Amino acid sequence: MAIQRQRRRGPAVNIVPLIDVMFFLVLFFVVFTTFRTDPVGIRVDLPRAATGAVTEQSELRITVTQQGAMFINGQAASVEQVRARVQEAVARRPDTLIIVSADRRVSYDYVVRAMDAARQGGGYRIALSVEPQQ
């Protein structure tokens, strides 16, 4: 009785699972980098105005939400922080334009508070942000 030996196969790398893993990694990074395009988006429903004019880009944008929370260039801030940031910006460039973007349903008191903080910080060029009326 003769025993036949089977030939041993050499080590082989199966590349199909590696391709699957790489595909899922690429897909993961593509999907999640598209979500990070607007990391500091604050939802504010601006009022509409027929006489709104386009202004130059502002170095400082104060956003006031419907609940009265204030943000400077997308970062949460208190009244004192608004005052300090305006003071710093005006010290660098005295003609700094400060744009106040407030939700259309926000209480008038919150808008005045933001504008007052900007004026106390030395800002004298203050504009209100609106959307063009259609």
Mind giving me the DSSP string for the chain? -PPPPPPPPPP----HHHHHHHHHHHHHHHHHHHGGGSTT-------EETT----PPPSEEEEE-TT--EEETTEEE-HHHHHHHHHHHHHH-TT-EEEEEE-TTS-HHHHHHHHHHHHHTT--EEEE--EEP-
Alpha-carbon span 95 to 34, nearest angstrom:
36
Per-residue tokens: 2: 């003769």
Least confident among 11-15, 16-20, 115-119: 11-15
What percentage of the chain has pLDDT greater than the value 70?
Answer: 79
Quote the pLDDT of residue 104.
82
> Can you give the pTM of this predicted structure?
0.59
CB atoms within 10 A of CB 47: 16
Label residue 81 by pLDDT band (50, 70, 90): very high
Quote the pLDDT of residue 32.
77
pLDDT tens-digit series, residues 31-69? 877 654 444 455 666 666 666 666 666 678 898 988 888
Average pLDDT over residues 5-29: 85
Calculated CA dihedral for residues 116, 122, 125, 126, nearest 10 degrees: -20
Please tell me the total number of residues recorded for the chain in this structure. Answer: 134
pLDDT tens-digit series, residues 20-35? 999 999 998 888 776 5
Fold classification of 48-132 (topology level)? Nucleotidyltransferase; domain 5 (3.30.420)
Q: What's the mean per-residue pLDDT of the chain? A: 80
Quote the pLDDT of residue 34.
62
Average pLDDT over residues 112-132: 86
What residue segments make up the domains of the chain, in order of their start? 48-132
Alpha-carbon span 38 to 31, nearest angstrom:
14
